[in-house]
Amino acid sequence: MPELPEVETVRRSLERLIGGCLIAEVNVREPRLRKPLAPHFAAALAGRIVQSIGRRGKYLNIGLDNGQIWLIHLGMTGQLIVSNLQEPLRKHDHIVVTLGDKRSLRYNDTRRFGLMAIGEEAEIETLMGLGVEPLTASFSTRYLWDKVQHTQRTVKDVLMDQRVVAGVGNIYASELLFRAKVQPGRLAGTLEQAATARIVKATKAVLREAIAHRGSSISDYLDGEGQPGSFQQRFRVYDQEGKPCRSCATPILRETHGGRSSFFCPTCQA
Ligand SMILES: [Zn+2]
């Protein structure tokens, strides 16, 4: 599932590829995404010009020339690919946006967990209901310290809660907790202030490094040019069950919480 680094990589490629472009025509071939597309979706988008391409957490928010926002969440398998109009459609190309210059932007989503909406900025912000951006100064030790007090949840659950911090999912939560030397299943209320500070620092470091490597491609993720990322080659714990820890050679463990796998080193992480 795309997390902040993958969505940021898509955002950067789309900024290069479709910034300033006219949206000439919108063809909805399959409106049934996680929520069905609004009936006015295609009409609201057609004729608009792409003015900006932003990101909030794992959402892309594309600014249109009438002040409205086109919100996109890639779900589990969503891809936005820019190609020439002549290129044959692929299976699961659910939305085809014809650009003014004979190219198209196609939304492909095998599992259809993606989400799209068009609306006013305030309305869209409410719809997302997100916490702070992890790469801004708002995500500080003081902020996280406040969030981890008096909760019965695990550290990993708090970090993956989009209402606390927007953009961290299963992969990067495992990776950042390894660097912060904190076990994912630890109760957040037991964290010391020093450990909280390490988590904040590790979150920013891991996300920046992953963006620099254009995200992680483990199943379907590709950027706007159809290129995969390479951060998966740098995973220290995620999907490394049984392999020796790079710091101490202890085999990496996998635990399942609420249907999601957590990976960690039982020696390095406490
Ligand atoms: Zn270790």
For 67-87, the pLDDT digits (tens) are 999 999 999 999 999 999 999
Rounded CA gap, 165 and 138, in Å?
Answer: 10
Give residue 202 CA to ligand 1 midpoint distance, Å: 16
Q: Are 10 and 60 in contact (CB under 8 A)?
A: yes
The question of whether 2 is a catalytic residue gets the answer: yes
Instruction: Give me the pLDDT at residue 96, please.
Output: 97
- Contact at 8 Å (CB) between 265 and 182? no
In angstroms, what is the span from residue 263 Cα to ligand 1's centroid?
A: 11
Residues 6 or more apart in contact with residue 118 via CB below 8 angstroms: 38, 40, 41, 44, 45, 64, 68, 69, 70, 71
What mean pLDDT value characterizes the chain?
95
User: What pTM did the predictor assign?
Assistant: 0.94
State how far Cα 66 lies from the chain centre.
26
Sign of CA dihedral 246, 3, 165, 152: negative
State the catalytic residue, choosing from 2, 5, 134, 184.
Answer: 2
* Residue 256 predicted with pLDDT over 80: yes
Specify the higher pLDDT residue, 140 or 225: 140
At 125, the pLDDT band (50, 70, 90 cuts) reads confident
Q: Determine the distance separating the centroid of ligand 1 and the alpha carbon of 217, expressed in angstroms.
A: 25
In angstroms, rounded to a whole number, what is the distance separating the alpha carbons of residues 238 and 267?
16
> Residues 56, 58, 106, 179: which is the catalytic one?
58
Q: Among the options 30, 112, 260, 266, which is catalytic? A: 260
Q: Is 260 a catalytic residue?
A: yes
Asked if 58 is an active-site residue, the reply is yes
Does residue 217 register a pLDDT over 90?
no
Is 48 one of the catalytic residues? no
The whole-angstrom separation of Cα 45 and Cα 98 is: 11
Pairwise CA distance, residues 47 & 158, whole Å: 42
CA of 179 to the centre of ligand 1 (A): 10
Q: Please name the amino acid found at residue 199.
A: I
The CA 210 to ligand 1 mean position distance, Å, reads 21
